A = this chain, B = another copy of it.
Amino acid sequence: MTATVKIAIAGLGTVGMGTVELLERHSKLLAARCGRAIEIVAVSARDRSKDRGADISGFDWFDDPVAMARETSADIVVELVGGSEGPARETCEAAIATGKHVVTANKALIALHGTELARAAENAGVALAYEAAVAGGIPVIKALREGLVGNRIERLHGILNGTCNYILTTMRETGRTFEDVLAEAQELGYAEADPSFDVDGVDAAHKLAILTSVAFGTEVDFENVHIEGIRNIAPEDIEYAGEFGYRIKLLGICERTENGVQQRVHPAMVPLGTPLSSVDGVFNAVVTEGDFVGTTVLEGRGAGAGPTASAVVSDIADIAAGRRVPTFGVPAASLTPSASASFEDHVGAYYVRLMVDDQPGVFAEIAAELANHEISIEGVIQRSRSETEAVPVVMTTHETREAAIQEVLAAFARLDAVREQPHMIRIENF
Protein backbone atom coordinates (compact mmCIF):
# COMPACT_ATOMS: atom_id res chain seq x y z
CA MET A 1 0.00 0.00 0.00
CA THR A 2 1.33 3.41 -0.98
CA ALA A 3 1.11 6.59 1.08
CA THR A 4 -2.08 7.90 2.62
CA VAL A 5 -4.10 10.33 0.52
CA LYS A 6 -4.73 13.52 2.46
CA ILE A 7 -7.98 15.43 2.13
CA ALA A 8 -8.94 19.02 3.01
CA ILE A 9 -12.64 19.83 3.03
CA ALA A 10 -13.96 23.37 2.47
CA GLY A 11 -17.56 23.67 3.67
CA LEU A 12 -19.08 21.61 6.48
CA GLY A 13 -22.79 21.77 5.72
CA THR A 14 -24.86 18.63 5.27
CA VAL A 15 -22.80 17.40 2.31
CA GLY A 16 -19.50 18.24 3.99
CA MET A 17 -20.44 16.43 7.17
CA GLY A 18 -21.88 13.55 5.11
CA THR A 19 -18.50 13.25 3.43
CA VAL A 20 -16.70 13.28 6.80
CA GLU A 21 -19.04 10.58 8.07
CA LEU A 22 -18.63 8.41 4.97
CA LEU A 23 -14.83 8.64 4.96
CA GLU A 24 -14.73 7.70 8.64
CA ARG A 25 -17.33 4.94 8.60
CA HIS A 26 -15.88 3.24 5.53
CA SER A 27 -12.18 3.99 6.02
CA LYS A 28 -11.15 0.31 5.96
CA LEU A 29 -13.38 -0.55 3.03
CA LEU A 30 -12.09 2.43 1.05
CA ALA A 31 -8.48 1.59 1.80
CA ALA A 32 -9.07 -1.94 0.47
CA ARG A 33 -10.87 -0.65 -2.59
CA CYS A 34 -8.44 2.19 -3.41
CA GLY A 35 -5.21 0.54 -2.35
CA ARG A 36 -4.45 3.54 -0.10
CA ALA A 37 -5.79 4.96 3.13
CA ILE A 38 -7.74 8.21 2.82
CA GLU A 39 -7.36 10.69 5.67
CA ILE A 40 -8.98 14.05 6.33
CA VAL A 41 -6.31 16.47 7.52
CA ALA A 42 -7.96 19.89 7.32
CA VAL A 43 -11.37 21.52 7.23
CA SER A 44 -12.74 25.00 6.77
CA ALA A 45 -16.17 26.46 7.48
CA ARG A 46 -17.72 29.69 8.63
CA ASP A 47 -18.23 28.85 12.29
CA ARG A 48 -15.80 26.64 14.14
CA SER A 49 -17.91 26.24 17.26
CA LYS A 50 -21.17 25.18 15.60
CA ASP A 51 -22.43 21.79 16.76
CA ARG A 52 -22.22 19.51 13.73
CA GLY A 53 -23.04 16.24 15.44
CA ALA A 54 -19.53 14.88 14.87
CA ASP A 55 -16.09 15.56 16.24
CA ILE A 56 -13.95 17.65 13.90
CA SER A 57 -11.34 18.63 16.46
CA GLY A 58 -8.82 16.21 15.00
CA PHE A 59 -8.57 18.18 11.74
CA ASP A 60 -6.59 21.35 11.16
CA TRP A 61 -9.01 24.25 11.16
CA PHE A 62 -8.94 27.13 8.68
CA ASP A 63 -11.27 30.12 8.87
CA ASP A 64 -10.59 30.85 5.21
CA PRO A 65 -11.07 28.06 2.65
CA VAL A 66 -8.84 29.83 0.14
CA ALA A 67 -6.01 29.97 2.66
CA MET A 68 -6.62 26.30 3.40
CA ALA A 69 -6.47 25.41 -0.28
CA ARG A 70 -3.20 27.29 -0.61
CA GLU A 71 -1.49 26.19 2.59
CA THR A 72 -2.71 22.71 3.44
CA SER A 73 -0.50 19.68 2.98
CA ALA A 74 -3.52 17.82 1.57
CA ASP A 75 -3.36 16.12 -1.83
CA ILE A 76 -7.01 16.82 -2.59
CA VAL A 77 -9.14 19.87 -1.78
CA VAL A 78 -12.87 19.13 -1.61
CA GLU A 79 -14.86 22.29 -2.36
CA LEU A 80 -18.34 22.23 -0.85
CA VAL A 81 -18.72 25.97 -0.27
CA GLY A 82 -21.07 26.59 -3.20
CA GLY A 83 -21.67 29.55 -5.49
CA SER A 84 -20.08 30.23 -8.83
CA GLU A 85 -17.88 33.09 -7.66
CA GLY A 86 -16.09 34.27 -4.52
CA PRO A 87 -14.64 31.80 -2.02
CA ALA A 88 -15.75 28.66 -3.91
CA ARG A 89 -14.08 29.68 -7.13
CA GLU A 90 -11.02 31.05 -5.37
CA THR A 91 -10.65 27.89 -3.32
CA CYS A 92 -10.57 25.77 -6.48
CA GLU A 93 -8.21 28.15 -8.23
CA ALA A 94 -5.86 28.24 -5.23
CA ALA A 95 -5.82 24.45 -4.98
CA ILE A 96 -5.02 24.06 -8.67
CA ALA A 97 -2.38 26.79 -8.55
CA THR A 98 -0.62 24.98 -5.73
CA GLY A 99 -0.77 21.57 -7.42
CA LYS A 100 -3.65 19.99 -5.53
CA HIS A 101 -6.47 17.96 -6.98
CA VAL A 102 -9.96 19.46 -6.72
CA VAL A 103 -13.17 17.58 -6.01
CA THR A 104 -16.30 19.71 -6.05
CA ALA A 105 -20.08 19.35 -5.85
CA ASN A 106 -20.51 22.87 -7.24
CA LYS A 107 -22.66 22.78 -10.38
CA ALA A 108 -22.85 26.57 -10.78
CA LEU A 109 -19.07 26.87 -10.68
CA ILE A 110 -18.52 24.13 -13.27
CA ALA A 111 -21.38 25.34 -15.48
CA LEU A 112 -20.00 28.89 -15.57
CA HIS A 113 -16.23 28.39 -15.32
CA GLY A 114 -15.75 24.69 -16.11
CA THR A 115 -13.77 25.07 -19.32
CA GLU A 116 -11.35 27.58 -17.82
CA LEU A 117 -10.88 25.58 -14.61
CA ALA A 118 -10.39 22.36 -16.60
CA ARG A 119 -7.64 24.00 -18.65
CA ALA A 120 -5.93 25.26 -15.51
CA ALA A 121 -6.20 21.85 -13.84
CA GLU A 122 -4.90 19.96 -16.85
CA ASN A 123 -2.02 22.40 -17.24
CA ALA A 124 -1.17 21.88 -13.58
CA GLY A 125 -1.43 18.12 -13.94
CA VAL A 126 -4.18 17.82 -11.33
CA ALA A 127 -7.72 16.48 -11.46
CA LEU A 128 -10.86 18.63 -11.44
CA ALA A 129 -13.59 16.16 -10.46
CA TYR A 130 -17.29 17.01 -10.17
CA GLU A 131 -19.37 13.82 -10.14
CA ALA A 132 -21.32 15.27 -7.20
CA ALA A 133 -22.30 18.36 -9.20
CA VAL A 134 -24.79 16.41 -11.33
CA ALA A 135 -27.31 14.07 -9.69
CA GLY A 136 -25.25 12.81 -6.76
CA GLY A 137 -26.96 9.44 -6.57
CA ILE A 138 -26.28 8.66 -10.23
CA PRO A 139 -22.71 8.02 -11.38
CA VAL A 140 -23.55 9.71 -14.67
CA ILE A 141 -20.31 11.61 -15.30
CA LYS A 142 -18.41 8.34 -14.91
CA ALA A 143 -20.90 6.49 -17.10
CA LEU A 144 -20.59 9.09 -19.88
CA ARG A 145 -16.83 9.62 -19.78
CA GLU A 146 -15.80 6.01 -19.19
CA GLY A 147 -18.62 3.49 -19.38
CA LEU A 148 -19.92 4.82 -22.71
CA VAL A 149 -16.50 5.99 -23.95
CA GLY A 150 -16.89 3.95 -27.14
CA ASN A 151 -19.99 5.82 -28.26
CA ARG A 152 -20.81 8.98 -30.06
CA ILE A 153 -23.63 10.36 -27.90
CA GLU A 154 -26.47 11.65 -30.06
CA ARG A 155 -28.82 12.94 -27.39
CA LEU A 156 -29.21 13.06 -23.64
CA HIS A 157 -32.23 14.01 -21.60
CA GLY A 158 -33.09 13.82 -17.98
CA ILE A 159 -34.90 14.85 -14.85
CA LEU A 160 -32.18 16.91 -13.21
CA ASN A 161 -33.91 18.75 -10.38
CA GLY A 162 -35.44 16.83 -7.49
CA THR A 163 -37.35 19.82 -6.10
CA CYS A 164 -39.24 20.34 -9.35
CA ASN A 165 -39.89 16.63 -9.72
CA TYR A 166 -41.20 16.46 -6.17
CA ILE A 167 -43.52 19.41 -6.81
CA LEU A 168 -44.82 18.06 -10.12
CA THR A 169 -45.32 14.58 -8.65
CA THR A 170 -47.22 15.96 -5.66
CA MET A 171 -49.34 18.22 -7.89
CA ARG A 172 -50.30 15.18 -9.96
CA GLU A 173 -51.07 13.00 -6.96
CA THR A 174 -53.10 15.61 -5.06
CA GLY A 175 -54.49 17.93 -7.73
CA ARG A 176 -53.12 20.91 -5.79
CA THR A 177 -51.62 24.08 -7.30
CA PHE A 178 -47.95 24.88 -7.82
CA GLU A 179 -47.97 27.61 -5.15
CA ASP A 180 -49.59 25.35 -2.59
CA VAL A 181 -47.20 22.44 -3.12
CA LEU A 182 -44.18 24.74 -3.24
CA ALA A 183 -45.11 26.19 0.14
CA GLU A 184 -45.35 22.68 1.58
CA ALA A 185 -42.03 21.68 0.00
CA GLN A 186 -40.43 24.72 1.62
CA GLU A 187 -41.81 23.68 5.01
CA LEU A 188 -40.48 20.15 4.53
CA GLY A 189 -37.07 21.44 3.53
CA TYR A 190 -37.32 20.08 -0.05
CA ALA A 191 -37.32 23.62 -1.46
CA GLU A 192 -35.28 26.67 -0.53
CA ALA A 193 -36.79 29.84 0.97
CA ASP A 194 -35.89 31.47 -2.35
CA PRO A 195 -36.95 28.67 -4.70
CA SER A 196 -36.09 30.45 -7.92
CA PHE A 197 -32.89 28.53 -8.61
CA ASP A 198 -34.82 25.28 -8.62
CA VAL A 199 -38.31 26.08 -9.90
CA ASP A 200 -37.17 28.45 -12.65
CA GLY A 201 -34.91 25.76 -14.11
CA VAL A 202 -31.50 27.35 -13.41
CA ASP A 203 -30.19 24.46 -11.32
CA ALA A 204 -31.24 21.93 -13.97
CA ALA A 205 -29.63 24.13 -16.64
CA HIS A 206 -26.32 24.16 -14.74
CA LYS A 207 -26.34 20.37 -14.68
CA LEU A 208 -27.41 20.14 -18.31
CA ALA A 209 -24.58 22.43 -19.45
CA ILE A 210 -22.09 20.13 -17.71
CA LEU A 211 -23.61 16.97 -19.17
CA THR A 212 -23.65 18.49 -22.66
CA SER A 213 -19.96 19.21 -22.48
CA VAL A 214 -19.15 15.66 -21.38
CA ALA A 215 -21.51 14.09 -23.90
CA PHE A 216 -20.39 16.09 -26.93
CA GLY A 217 -16.85 17.19 -26.11
CA THR A 218 -17.83 20.85 -26.35
CA GLU A 219 -16.87 23.77 -24.12
CA VAL A 220 -19.31 24.25 -21.23
CA ASP A 221 -21.89 26.65 -22.60
CA PHE A 222 -24.41 27.59 -19.92
CA GLU A 223 -25.22 30.89 -21.69
CA ASN A 224 -26.91 29.08 -24.54
CA VAL A 225 -29.22 26.86 -22.52
CA HIS A 226 -32.85 27.77 -23.21
CA ILE A 227 -34.44 27.80 -19.75
CA GLU A 228 -38.08 27.67 -18.64
CA GLY A 229 -39.25 26.61 -15.19
CA ILE A 230 -42.41 25.04 -13.79
CA ARG A 231 -44.22 28.04 -12.27
CA ASN A 232 -46.83 28.10 -15.04
CA ILE A 233 -47.84 24.45 -14.83
CA ALA A 234 -51.47 24.26 -13.72
CA PRO A 235 -53.24 21.24 -12.21
CA GLU A 236 -55.51 21.18 -15.30
CA ASP A 237 -52.49 20.72 -17.55
CA ILE A 238 -51.32 17.76 -15.49
CA GLU A 239 -54.77 16.24 -15.75
CA TYR A 240 -55.03 16.78 -19.51
CA ALA A 241 -51.52 15.36 -19.93
CA GLY A 242 -52.79 12.17 -18.30
CA GLU A 243 -55.75 12.04 -20.67
CA PHE A 244 -53.45 12.34 -23.68
CA GLY A 245 -51.19 9.58 -22.20
CA TYR A 246 -48.39 11.77 -20.84
CA ARG A 247 -46.71 12.83 -17.62
CA ILE A 248 -45.30 16.35 -17.16
CA LYS A 249 -41.64 16.49 -16.12
CA LEU A 250 -39.08 19.28 -16.04
CA LEU A 251 -36.53 17.99 -18.53
CA GLY A 252 -33.01 18.97 -19.45
CA ILE A 253 -32.29 17.99 -23.04
CA CYS A 254 -29.20 18.28 -25.19
CA GLU A 255 -28.98 16.99 -28.71
CA ARG A 256 -26.98 17.27 -31.86
CA THR A 257 -29.06 18.85 -34.60
CA GLU A 258 -28.16 19.81 -38.13
CA ASN A 259 -27.95 23.41 -36.89
CA GLY A 260 -25.63 22.66 -33.99
CA VAL A 261 -25.95 21.61 -30.38
CA GLN A 262 -29.26 22.39 -28.75
CA GLN A 263 -29.54 22.68 -24.96
CA ARG A 264 -32.88 23.29 -23.31
CA VAL A 265 -34.59 23.01 -19.94
CA HIS A 266 -38.38 23.20 -19.89
CA PRO A 267 -41.45 21.32 -18.71
CA ALA A 268 -42.27 18.54 -21.14
CA MET A 269 -44.89 15.88 -21.63
CA VAL A 270 -43.30 12.44 -21.77
CA PRO A 271 -45.31 9.38 -22.83
CA LEU A 272 -46.54 7.05 -20.09
CA GLY A 273 -44.54 3.85 -20.17
CA THR A 274 -41.24 5.49 -21.09
CA PRO A 275 -38.55 5.29 -18.38
CA LEU A 276 -38.73 8.93 -17.25
CA SER A 277 -42.53 8.96 -16.93
CA SER A 278 -42.35 6.84 -13.79
CA VAL A 279 -39.42 8.65 -12.13
CA ASP A 280 -41.23 10.39 -9.30
CA GLY A 281 -40.56 12.45 -6.20
CA VAL A 282 -37.02 13.61 -5.46
CA PHE A 283 -35.44 11.09 -7.86
CA ASN A 284 -33.36 12.19 -10.84
CA ALA A 285 -32.76 10.21 -14.02
CA VAL A 286 -30.70 10.57 -17.16
CA VAL A 287 -31.31 8.86 -20.50
CA THR A 288 -28.44 8.70 -22.97
CA GLU A 289 -28.46 7.58 -26.57
CA GLY A 290 -25.18 6.28 -27.95
CA ASP A 291 -24.55 5.00 -31.45
CA PHE A 292 -23.36 1.54 -30.35
CA VAL A 293 -24.91 1.07 -26.93
CA GLY A 294 -28.38 2.43 -27.76
CA THR A 295 -30.45 3.77 -24.89
CA THR A 296 -29.13 3.71 -21.33
CA VAL A 297 -31.15 4.93 -18.35
CA LEU A 298 -29.61 5.89 -15.01
CA GLU A 299 -31.81 6.74 -12.04
CA GLY A 300 -31.09 7.70 -8.45
CA ARG A 301 -31.41 10.37 -5.79
CA GLY A 302 -30.42 13.79 -7.04
CA ALA A 303 -29.42 15.44 -3.81
CA GLY A 304 -29.05 14.99 -0.08
CA ALA A 305 -26.07 14.39 2.18
CA GLY A 306 -25.69 10.64 1.53
CA PRO A 307 -25.93 10.53 -2.28
CA THR A 308 -23.80 13.65 -2.71
CA ALA A 309 -21.14 12.37 -0.28
CA SER A 310 -21.17 9.08 -2.20
CA ALA A 311 -20.35 10.98 -5.41
CA VAL A 312 -17.69 13.14 -3.73
CA VAL A 313 -16.01 10.01 -2.37
CA SER A 314 -16.09 8.27 -5.76
CA ASP A 315 -14.05 11.18 -7.14
CA ILE A 316 -11.67 11.01 -4.18
CA ALA A 317 -11.30 7.25 -4.69
CA ASP A 318 -10.47 7.66 -8.37
CA ILE A 319 -7.76 10.17 -7.56
CA ALA A 320 -6.46 8.02 -4.71
CA ALA A 321 -6.26 4.98 -6.99
CA GLY A 322 -4.54 6.98 -9.70
CA ARG A 323 -7.42 6.79 -12.17
CA ARG A 324 -7.49 9.88 -14.34
CA VAL A 325 -9.90 11.03 -17.06
CA PRO A 326 -9.82 14.31 -19.02
CA THR A 327 -12.17 16.73 -17.23
CA PHE A 328 -14.85 16.76 -19.90
CA GLY A 329 -13.91 13.48 -21.55
CA VAL A 330 -11.30 14.86 -23.96
CA PRO A 331 -8.37 17.15 -23.11
CA ALA A 332 -9.66 20.62 -22.24
CA ALA A 333 -7.53 22.14 -24.99
CA SER A 334 -9.42 20.16 -27.61
CA LEU A 335 -12.96 20.95 -26.44
CA THR A 336 -14.80 22.54 -29.36
CA PRO A 337 -16.95 25.68 -29.10
CA SER A 338 -20.50 24.44 -28.81
CA ALA A 339 -21.98 26.01 -32.00
CA SER A 340 -25.34 26.47 -30.40
CA ALA A 341 -28.47 25.81 -32.47
CA SER A 342 -31.19 28.46 -32.43
CA PHE A 343 -34.13 27.40 -30.30
CA GLU A 344 -36.49 28.83 -32.95
CA ASP A 345 -35.44 25.98 -35.21
CA HIS A 346 -36.46 23.35 -32.67
CA VAL A 347 -39.00 20.97 -34.17
CA GLY A 348 -41.43 19.16 -31.93
CA ALA A 349 -45.00 18.46 -30.96
CA TYR A 350 -46.88 20.79 -28.61
CA TYR A 351 -49.72 20.78 -26.12
CA VAL A 352 -51.76 24.00 -26.06
CA ARG A 353 -54.55 24.97 -23.67
CA LEU A 354 -56.65 28.06 -24.40
CA MET A 355 -59.28 29.46 -22.05
CA VAL A 356 -62.03 30.82 -24.32
CA ASP A 357 -65.52 32.27 -24.24
CA ASP A 358 -67.89 29.49 -25.20
CA GLN A 359 -69.48 31.18 -28.22
CA PRO A 360 -70.14 30.15 -31.83
CA GLY A 361 -67.18 30.50 -34.19
CA VAL A 362 -64.39 30.41 -31.60
CA PHE A 363 -63.07 27.09 -32.70
CA ALA A 364 -63.16 28.20 -36.34
CA GLU A 365 -60.99 31.21 -35.43
CA ILE A 366 -58.52 28.98 -33.60
CA ALA A 367 -58.42 26.50 -36.49
CA ALA A 368 -57.86 29.34 -38.97
CA GLU A 369 -54.84 30.60 -37.03
CA LEU A 370 -53.38 27.10 -36.92
CA ALA A 371 -53.88 26.77 -40.66
CA ASN A 372 -52.26 30.18 -41.25
CA HIS A 373 -49.16 28.93 -39.47
CA GLU A 374 -49.28 25.51 -41.14
CA ILE A 375 -49.68 23.71 -37.84
CA SER A 376 -51.77 20.55 -37.86
CA ILE A 377 -53.70 19.26 -34.88
CA GLU A 378 -53.20 15.76 -33.56
CA GLY A 379 -55.86 15.66 -30.86
CA VAL A 380 -58.42 17.96 -29.25
CA ILE A 381 -60.31 17.85 -25.96
CA GLN A 382 -63.26 20.22 -25.57
CA ARG A 383 -65.77 19.01 -23.08
CA SER A 384 -67.06 21.50 -20.57
CA ARG A 385 -69.54 24.15 -21.62
CA SER A 386 -70.43 27.39 -19.85
CA GLU A 387 -72.32 30.51 -20.77
CA THR A 388 -70.60 32.63 -18.16
CA GLU A 389 -67.08 31.28 -17.56
CA ALA A 390 -64.17 30.67 -19.91
CA VAL A 391 -63.89 27.04 -21.00
CA PRO A 392 -60.75 25.17 -21.97
CA VAL A 393 -59.86 24.21 -25.54
CA VAL A 394 -57.04 21.71 -25.29
CA MET A 395 -55.08 20.39 -28.24
CA THR A 396 -51.91 18.60 -29.21
CA THR A 397 -50.14 19.35 -32.48
CA HIS A 398 -48.12 17.35 -34.94
CA GLU A 399 -44.47 18.31 -35.32
CA THR A 400 -43.87 21.96 -36.05
CA ARG A 401 -41.16 24.58 -35.59
CA GLU A 402 -40.79 26.44 -32.28
CA ALA A 403 -40.97 29.73 -34.18
CA ALA A 404 -44.35 28.76 -35.66
CA ILE A 405 -45.82 27.78 -32.33
CA GLN A 406 -44.65 31.03 -30.74
CA GLU A 407 -46.29 33.00 -33.55
CA VAL A 408 -49.57 31.12 -33.30
CA LEU A 409 -49.63 31.54 -29.51
CA ALA A 410 -49.25 35.29 -29.98
CA ALA A 411 -52.06 35.22 -32.56
CA PHE A 412 -54.29 33.24 -30.17
CA ALA A 413 -53.63 35.79 -27.42
CA ARG A 414 -54.93 38.54 -29.72
CA LEU A 415 -58.29 36.80 -30.33
CA ASP A 416 -61.19 38.48 -28.47
CA ALA A 417 -62.60 35.16 -27.28
CA VAL A 418 -59.31 34.05 -25.69
CA ARG A 419 -59.29 35.08 -22.05
CA GLU A 420 -55.86 34.14 -20.59
CA GLN A 421 -52.37 33.89 -21.96
CA PRO A 422 -52.31 30.58 -23.86
CA HIS A 423 -50.71 27.66 -21.99
CA MET A 424 -48.14 25.65 -23.95
CA ILE A 425 -46.11 22.57 -22.99
CA ARG A 426 -43.71 20.78 -25.34
CA ILE A 427 -44.24 17.09 -26.03
CA GLU A 428 -41.15 14.88 -26.20
CA ASN A 429 -41.79 11.50 -27.82
CA PHE A 430 -38.25 10.18 -27.36
Chain A interfacial positions (CB closer than 8 Å to B): 18, 22, 26, 29-30, 32-35, 131, 136-139, 142-143, 145-152, 217, 273, 275, 278, 285, 290-301, 304, 306-307, 309-314, 317-318, 321-326, 329-331, 334
CB nearest to A29 among chain B residues: B152
Pick the residue among B292, B310, B323 that contacts A307 (CB under 8 A). B292
Contact among B142, B149, B324 for A147, CB-based, below 8 A? B142
Is A292's CB under 8 angstroms from B309's CB?
yes
A16 CB, nearest partner CB in chain B, Å: 14
Which of A33, A149, A296 counts the most chain B CB atoms within 10 A? A149
- Give the residues in chain B near A299, CB-CB below 8 Å: 275, 296-299
- 12 A-B contacts, Cβ less than 8 Å apart? A18-B292, A26-B151, A32-B217, A33-B145, A34-B149, A137-B296, A146-B318, A149-B313, A292-B309, A293-B300, A297-B299, A322-B324
Pair A146/B317 contact, Cβ less than 8 Å: yes
Knowing A290-B310, A299-B275 touch, does A143 contact B152 (C-beta < 8 A)?
Answer: no
Q: Which secondary structure characterizes the binding site on chain A?
A: mixed
Residues of B within 8 A of A325 (CB): 321, 323
Do A147 and B293 form a contact, CB below 8 Å, given A29-B152, A33-B330? no
- A147: which B residues are within 8 A, CB to CB? 131, 139, 142-143, 314
A151 neighbours in B (Cβ, 8 Å): 26, 310
In the complex, are the beta carbons of A294 and B300 less than 8 A apart? yes
CB distance from A28 to the nearest CB of B (A): 10
- Indicate if the CB atoms of A292 and B310 lie closer than 8 Å: yes
The interface residues of chain B lying within 8 Å CB-to-CB of A139 are 142-143, 146-148, 296
Chain B hits for A148, CB < 8 A:
139, 310, 314
CB-based contact B298/A150 at 8 Å = no
Which residue of the partner chain B has the closest CB to A277?
B278
Q: How far is the CA of A331 from the CA of B344 in the complex (A)?
A: 54
Residues of B near A29 (CB, < 8 A) are 152
Minimum Cβ distance to chain B for residue A286 (Å): 11
* Contact A293/B137 with A32-B217, A34-B149 known, Cβ cut-off 8 Å: yes
Inter-subunit contact B149/A317 (CB<8 Å)? yes
Known: A143-B139, A147-B314, A331-B32. A294 touches B321 (CB 8 A): no
Would A334 and B142 count as touching, CB distance under 8 A?
no
Contact, CB under 8 Å: A296 / B300 = yes
4 smallest A-B Cβ distances: which pairs? A139-B147, A150-B313, A293-B310, A297-B299
Contact A295 B306 (CB under 8 A): no
Return chain B residues, CB-CB under 8 Å to A149. Answer: 30, 33-34, 313-314, 317
